[in-house]
Amino acid sequence: MKRFTAYGLLSCACVFLWAHCAANPYPMESVLTSGTYLSEGKRVPVQTFTLQDYVVSLVDFQWDDPQKNGGIHDVNWRWYHDGRLVSSSGKSVSFTSTPFTLRTRRAAATLGIGHFKVETVVDGNLAGSSEFDITP
């Protein structure tokens, strides 16, 4: 029982230190690009995609002290078609080092044709938003 209690206290101490040693990340840039460009190592802004493309949303974060981690944050991505929510996903993400990039992607064919928006929300706050169109 002592071993379990000591382990529990150690775990709590590690979480406490992680949270208090973390920096405060802030969004710097939001870029919407294609899967093709990203696979080539390019971050070319794209606003119109075809059904054969992957839509990739990148949101860059930074914080002032590079010696600190950015902490653990709840991240949600929301995809809208003509103002209606069509896809949502989320997870807890550890912002390990500055600069840090959050990335999400969807196959354009699964979204369909029309006007869209993707939002990146961190800890309940909008960090990035991009509008785009998908054509045949």
- DSSP, residue by residue, 46-112: -SEEETTSEEEEEEEEE-S-TTS--EEEEEEEEEEETTEEEEEEEEEEEE-SSSEEEEEEEEHHHH-
Please give the pLDDT value at position 22. 82
Write down the pLDDT at residue 21. 64
- Please give the Cα distance from 38 to 78 (Å, whole number): 21
Return the pLDDT at 23: 86
Q: Which domain holds residue 66?
A: 2-135
Q: Is 122 helix (H, G, I), strand (E, B) or coil?
A: strand
What's the CATH code of the domain at 69? 2.60.40.1930
Give the count of domains, the chain.
1
pLDDT in tens, the chain (136 residues): 555 444 444 444 444 444 446 889 999 999 999 999 999 999 999 999 999 999 999 999 999 999 999 999 999 999 999 999 999 999 999 999 999 999 999 999 999 999 999 999 999 999 999 999 999 9
Measured in whole angstroms, how far is the alpha carbon of residue 8 from the centre of its chain?
A: 31
* 24 vs 70: CA distance, rounded Å: 6
